[in-house]
Structure 1
Amino acid sequence: MPVVDVKTDIDALTLTIVADFAAPVERVWQIYADPRQLERVWGPPQYPATFVDHELSPGGRMNYYMTSPEGEKFCGYWRITEVSEPDFFAFADGFADEQFNPNTDLPESQNVYSFAPHQGGTRATFVATYPSAEGLQQVLDMGMIEGATAAIGQIDELLAA
């Protein structure tokens, strides 16, 4: 399992996940740069993702949905704010309706995904900052840690392929 640390900080409104991968930074970056690879690891295994829009550049938007085992769709979006390939990218991550309009009943987080060489591979640090302690708690109650950990766990298999 690549996840080596998970921290929530209610005061800082953050959820931080750290994972180590046995692949170079450039290879890990490619997972996020390629929508077909990203689909294989975004979301827990039982909720496969489909990216219908994918523009990993400042001002770009990535719209996706995850499909439950019962066929129900859960939509989301990323609004890309900053990109420094292959070191990091920053984005707003939100829940959406089926037309990819923001669902304001659920919190939008500000995220930074960073990648650095570490012990011959890559250390990825995923930091999500929520607008309020209630918003952070809401996604924690929805199983965000378990879902994200399961999703990140799929990356090793993709890297080995």
Structure 2
Amino acid sequence: MSTLQVTVVPNLPFIEFSRDFDAPVSAVYRAHADLDLVQQWLGPTGYSTEIDHWHLRTGGSYRFTHIDPEGERFEFHGVFHEVRPNDFIIQTFEYGGHPDVVSIETVRFVDLGGGCMRLIGHSTYPSQEARDGMADNGMEDGMAEGYNRLDNVLAEFRAGITSRSNN
């Protein structure tokens, strides 16, 4: 299993990440685009996810809520500014707990050959303080757990199973 690599760029309001997957770009992209698949992997282990809407297309938007085991709710939303299937996504990302902080994120789907791919992301925050708040509040752990769950979804996808219950 691959591990998430996160770089919190010193003295700049950026966070960069990458994660390899033992799956082709088309399968990983589909897991980002198909609402049923997104719901299976998005978020930390042990949390449930409610997706209000998820329109992965240029000009589309999304809104979802993670619910922790104690019932606390964490709401997120944003706009997909540019979507190039199997290649590239530019989106905004906003956590409801900090409504004045909107990051701009770029995600690239890179074919590594041999049925493997790398997801490469770059997030830009409006301030160093906003970036530090995100980096210091569990973002990396939540992303890593979500991508580990995505590995499981992709394994089932490879086995011909495309739907299962969330958590």
TM-score, structure 2 normalization = 0.86
CA distance in 2, matches of 1:63, 1:157: 23
Letter in 1 for 2:48: P
User: Could you give the per-residue CA deviations for residues 48-73 of structure 1, whole angstroms, max 9, x where no partner exists?
Assistant: 22211111112211010011101122
Alignment counterpart, residue 152 of structure 1, candidates 122, 132, 147: 147
Conserved in 1, the CA contact under 8 Å of 2:79 and 2:92?
yes
Unaligned runs of 5+ in 2: 157-167
SS of alignment partner, residue 3 of structure 1? coil
TM-score, structure 1 normalization = 0.89
CA distance in 1, matches of 2:93, 2:140: 15
Matches within 5 A, 1:31-70: 31-70=31-70
**Pairing 1:108–2:108 present:** no
Conserved in 2, the CA contact under 8 Å of 1:2 and 1:152?
no
User: Could you give the per-residue CA deviations for residues 62-104 of structure 1, whole angstroms, max 9, x where no partner exists?
Assistant: 010011101122111021100111101110000127xxxx822
Conserved in 2, the CA contact under 8 Å of 1:64 and 1:75?
yes
CA pair 83-125 structure 1, distance change in 2 beyond 3 A:
same
Matches within 5 A, 1:122-133: 122-133=117-128
Residue of structure 2 in register with 1:10 after alignment: 10
Conserved in 1, the CA contact under 8 Å of 2:54 and 2:61?
yes
**Pairing 1:118–2:112 present:** yes
SS of alignment partner, residue 123 of structure 1? strand
Aligned residues, how many? 155
Letter in 2 for 1:111: E
What's the % identity of the aligned pairs?
26
Q: Which moved more, 1:88-97 or 1:28-37?
A: 88-97
Q: Which moved more, 1:85-94 or 1:111-120?
A: 111-120
Conserved in 2, the CA contact under 8 Å of 1:18 and 1:125?
yes
Give the C-alpha shift of residue 12 in structure 1.
3.2
